[in-house]
């Protein structure tokens, strides 16, 4: 009999969700349409956030912003982009949990203080923003959103540094957390990564223009070339004099979020010289080396399991098959108020191909299990389509802890692996067997140069603590 997992919240996520993507462009000659290029860059970063999108342009020091709720395509059209003229632009896509899905929380955030206009687009999470916010409110600051970005903007306004770029650097020295940030102030485009480099941020070039983005796939879409990753603790400033690079913190151990390689980042992106698809393939190869099961076909859960399944099939010699079809036209606007409708959502999105799976012993590959409800639904559909055995193989270790560094992972009590053994999880989701890749195997699969990783959601070893924000204090 299947064990019922008791702590499933109706609105909890069943996939690790990225919270934001950022893009920026500096074109001193004004020869590019920076708003349209930002739009295209954000389009490539859409997987990092689907709830709101925004672009702020800077024309000779005059800022103009447009943002709205929904996908990049829905927020912008040709007329809106035509009104956004300038030489510098920054853009943002945001994912949020339901409670904070408001236009007030859409980015970029544009603020004005005695130091001048400042626009900020930010990806990540500050773990001391509640404390700072309380201090600032006690000193009279009034907040208009729940964004960490606004905390940074207030710190800039209150900084004793008169120069706005210096004030931004001073502010970043006061915050703690995981973030990649792009800002515009005066005639400067500014990009910075937190001292441990949790979130990705790359620098590229398009003709004479410089571009920065969360991922290199945003460069590919506009024909820009990758120069390098922004380094942990580095702030670069781009203006008419070119690029300057400074470090605003002492060197810290690198702690890049390993989930960027497992799931979040697009497979065509390159991080630290490592292509994401190839890293995932290697995770699949490693999984095959660690697993001892006889089967007829290897089937990915699309699209998150595809790269690992290809690697698994190559290593094991078991044929790769497209045994589940993904409906490409399902948007994220699908309303999911109850668990029943969430289950329906899986059926709308994924459909097993009976002619492929019927009578077959299937190795089913996915990148992770968060709550287990989606996996259970997929396995049930595979059995209904006639699969004789289903061996579920996961290209990451069990997720046992929440993320406090910018990812929406569900709370700890909702994570199935936090409270159940591998055998219990297999029983709950209805798989004949369940195998997770080892943490060592995972780490060995990624060859990014000079990187060390945050693996806290698998180990509970939080590199900078859990902080005092979000639900950290409740757990």
The only residue of 346, 456, 464, 466 in contact with ligand SF4, by rule CB under 6 A: 456
- Give the nearest distance from C-beta 310 to ligand SF4 in angstroms: 24
What the block records as the tokens of 128 is 């001391």
Which x/- pattern over 264-303 shows residues binding ligand SF4 (rule: CB under 6 A)? ----------------------------------------
- Does the footprint of ligand SF4 cover residue 454 (CB under 6 A)? yes
Torsion of CA 353, 355, 356, 359, to 10 degrees: 120
- Does the footprint of ligand SF4 cover residue 126 (CB under 6 A)? no
φ, ψ (nearest 5 deg) of residue 92? -150, 140
The only residue of 42, 118, 175, 403 in contact with ligand SF4, by rule CB under 6 A: 403
Q: Which of 401, 408, 406, 410 is nearest to 126 (CA)?
A: 406
Helix, strand, or coil (residue 160)? coil
Q: Which residues are annotated as a binding site for Mg(2+)?
A: 304, 366-367
What the block records as the tokens of 343 is 């289950």
- Does the footprint of ligand SF4 cover residue 464 (CB under 6 A)? no
The only residue of 164, 271, 457, 464 in contact with ligand SF4, by rule CB under 6 A: 457
Q: Which of 117, 158, 165, 103 is nearest to 135 (CA)?
A: 158
Q: Which residues are annotated as a binding site?
A: 257, 304, 366-367, 403, 454, 457
- Does the footprint of ligand SF4 cover residue 198 (CB under 6 A)? yes
- Give the nearest distance from C-beta 467 to ligand SF4 in angstroms: 12
Strands (E), 70-115: 88-94, 109-113
Cα–Cα distance, 302 to 125 (Å, whole number): 29
Neighbours of 142 (CB within 10 A): 7
- Does the footprint of ligand SF4 cover residue 179 (CB under 6 A)? no
Q: Which of 221, 220, 202, 222 is nearest to 212 (CA)?
A: 202
- Give the nearest distance from C-beta 409 to ligand SF4 in angstroms: 6
Residue of this chain nearest to ligand SF4 (CB atom):
403
The only residue of 127, 217, 257, 288 in contact with ligand SF4, by rule CB under 6 A: 257
- Give the nearest distance from C-beta 100 to ligand SF4 in angstroms: 18
Residues in the chain: 475
CA angle 397–401–405, rounded 5-degree value:
105
Which of 80, 443 has the CB closer to ligand SF4? 443
Which of 54, 397 has the CB closer to ligand SF4? 397
Cα–Cα distance, 475 to 467 (Å, whole number): 11
Which positions are catalytic? 20
Bridge partners of 192, per DSSP, are: 181, 235
Considering only the stretches 45-53, 86-94, 203-211, 449-457, report the one whose residues sit in contact with ligand SF4 under the rule CB under 6 A: 449-457
Contact residues toward ligand SF4 (CB under 6 A) are 178, 198, 257-259, 403, 405, 407, 454-457
């Amino acid at each position: 009999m299947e064990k019922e997992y008791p702590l499933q919240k109706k609105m909890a996520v069943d996939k690790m969700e990225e919270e934001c993507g950022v893009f920026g462009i500096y074109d001193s000659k004004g020869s590019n349409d920076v708003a349209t290029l930002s739009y295209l860059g954000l389009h490539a970063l859409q997987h990092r956030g689907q709830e709101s999108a925004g672009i702020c342009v800077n024309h000779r020091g005059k800022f103009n912003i447009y943002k709205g709720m929904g996908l990049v395509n829905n927020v912008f059209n040709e007329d809106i982009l035509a009104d956004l003229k300038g030489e510098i632009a920054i853009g943002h896509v945001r994912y949020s949990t339901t409670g904070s899905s408001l236009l007030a929380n859409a980015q970029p955030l544009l603020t004005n203080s005695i130091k001048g206009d400042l626009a900020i687009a930010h990806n990540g999470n500050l773990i001391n923003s509640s404390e700072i916010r309380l201090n600032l409110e006690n000193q009279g600051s009034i907040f208009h959103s729940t964004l960490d970005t606004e905390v940074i903007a207030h710190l800039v306004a209150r900084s004793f540094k008169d120069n706005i770029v210096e004030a931004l650097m001073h502010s970043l020295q006061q915050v703690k957390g995981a973030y990649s940030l792009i800002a515009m102030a005066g005639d400067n485009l500014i990009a910075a990564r937190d001292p441990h480099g949790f979130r990705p941020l790359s620098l590229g070039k398009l003709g004479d223009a410089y571009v920065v983005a969360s991922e290199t796939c945003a460069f590919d879409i506009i024909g820009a070339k990758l120069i390098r990753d922004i380094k942990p603790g580095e702030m670069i400033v781009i203006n008419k004099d070119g690029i300057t690079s400074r470090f605003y913190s002492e060197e810290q151990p690198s702690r890049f979020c390993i989930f960027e390689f497992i799931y979040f980042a697009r497979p065509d992106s390159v991080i630290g010289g490592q292509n994401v698809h190839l890293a995932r393939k290697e995770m699949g190869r490693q999984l095959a080396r660690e697993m001892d099961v006889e089967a007829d076909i290897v089937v990915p859960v699309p699209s998150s399991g595809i790269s690992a399944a290809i690697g698994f099939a190559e290593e094991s010699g078991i044929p790769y098959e497209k045994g589940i079809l993904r409906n490409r036209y399902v948007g994220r606007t699908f309303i999911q108020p109850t668990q029943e409708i969430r289950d329906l959502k899986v059926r709308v999105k994924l459909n097993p191909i009976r002619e492929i799976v019927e009578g077959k012993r299937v190795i089913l590959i996915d990148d992770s299990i968060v709550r287990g409800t989606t996996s259970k639904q997929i396995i049930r559909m595979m059995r209904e389509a006639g699969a004789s055995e289903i061996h579920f193989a996961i290209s990451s270790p069990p997720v046992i802890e929440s993320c406090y560094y910018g990812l929406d992972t569900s709370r700890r009590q909702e994570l199935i692996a936090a409270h159940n053994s591998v055998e219990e999880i297999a029983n709950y989701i209805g798989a004949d067997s369940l195998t997770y890749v080892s943490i060592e195997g995972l780490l060995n699969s990624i060859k990014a140069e000079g990187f060390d990783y945050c693996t806290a959601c698998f180990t509970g070893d939080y590199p900078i603590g859990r902080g005092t924000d979000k639900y950290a204090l409740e757990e």
